[in-house]
A and B are shown apart, each in its own frame.
Chain A
């Protein structure tokens, strides 16, 4: 009787301790979370400065292009998004389609200047973590 009671009490006390080790502040692994701190979801593909020509083959204009892409392997297969781009130099913001990559273009850039853009994926009408990517306009 005594042993049974002691054993059952000990079992109740020690074998079933439950711990709460879930801290919302440490939840940063979902790429769609604003607090995501894993591998960047948006990365720079390439940045170029090119000179356009007119019909006579003469130099017409200089164009700066910055191409970024979404690392789709980090997202669930059915995730869809749209782009929101902010020019950090001017503060201008615009939205774009749902392609995997996106190219920002600036006509007649100041060569040697740094152009920074903030890319945000909009998923189900809500923004994800923004990524700022800067490039120097060099020929």
Chain B
């Protein structure tokens, strides 16, 4: 189990990571989520021993890793762009950590084919990294990282360089491979979908600090504050009377602040909310209608693709409580709306 306590990293005046404490239990996958520049990559690099700590500690299975160089930590790292060694073929890349562990020749060859099969790249051993597509390169990088038999696998935005459909497919494969190999992993990403698809637990970072952590589903259901909610893909964050009206319409608890996903509000024949249509716009998930809701303000609702509504028309709206998150009142940040 990885345990980080009060970890800080400074670059000159800048405190890139500021007093972060977290744990990654054995066999689980933690996603550290945050916008670019929040210090999440620095945190990962500090855990790998690539960045000196200003303060705090990194312990694995109760052993403080201060003074243990990167190559003795047995934490493999996978980079956004693979960082395969261009002068070695795919097989030699995957065999690289095996050789470092003293495994060579026949045993290594078998292990290499097993790992390549695991990531879905059977028969790629003789290929040059330069001939691989982005997705293939990342699969090789994953196989190579797993070949190190890491106690902890560190993944730095492993899917961010790939296009959307490939990313979704690879995210699923990544989850499967990590589960099959029972690998303890820590994933750093700015993409909440990626985190949701791969990780068991999520930690949200902002400006060097940890603002929330917990099981993935729980973090999504209860964002710590408005900013986290927005970052996690919630479209709209409401407060005060507007929040109360929407919650009443959803028939779901009470709270100061409430966050709505983009498909939380639906156009219906009869509903608890009413308003005048401001704009309409056809999207892939249906008709998106901007409605000026009485006592709430502008909300975007999803309607039947066949529905025909005109600007100025009065319409009724329903709120799906499963697509709404309550933000605890302890939150000290004003909503951005």
A and B associate: no
Residue positions of B touching A, CB distance < 8 A: none
Residue positions of A touching B, CB distance < 8 A: none
